[in-house]
Amino acid sequence: MPENIASQYRVAVTRTRAASYPDVAPFSPDTAYPEYPHGHLGPATNQVYSGVRRVLALAGMDAAHVDTARWNPLGDFVPPGGTVVLKPNLVREHHPWDPQGWRYVLTHGSVVRAVADYAFAAVGGAGRVVIADAPQTDSSFAAIVSVLGLDELRRFYRERGLRLDLVDLRQEEWTTVDDVVVARRRLPGPAAACRATPAARSPSTWPRPASSPTTAERAATTAPTTTAGW
Q: What is the pLDDT along the chain (230 residues), one digit of tens a residue?
A: 455 555 567 889 999 888 899 999 999 999 999 999 999 999 999 999 999 999 999 999 999 999 999 999 999 999 999 999 999 999 999 888 888 888 889 999 999 999 999 999 999 999 999 999 999 999 999 999 999 999 999 999 999 999 999 999 999 998 888 888 888 899 887 665 555 544 444 333 333 333 333 333 333 333 455 556 66
Closest CA to 183 of 173, 198, 196, 194: 173
Q: What is the pLDDT of residue 175?
A: 87
Q: What is the pLDDT of residue 188?
A: 86
Residue 221 neighbours by CB under 8 Å, 6+ apart? 203, 206, 213
Q: What single-letter DSSP state applies at residue 229? A: E
Q: What single-letter DSSP state applies at residue 165? A: E
Longest distance between any two alpha carbons in the chain, whole Å: 57
What is the Cα–Cα distance from 82 to 208, expressed in whole angstroms? 18
Closest CA to 107 of 79, 88, 81, 134: 88
What's this model's pTM, rounded to 2 decimal places?
0.80
pLDDT digits (tens, 9 = 90+) for 117-151: 999 999 999 999 999 999 999 999 999 999 999 99
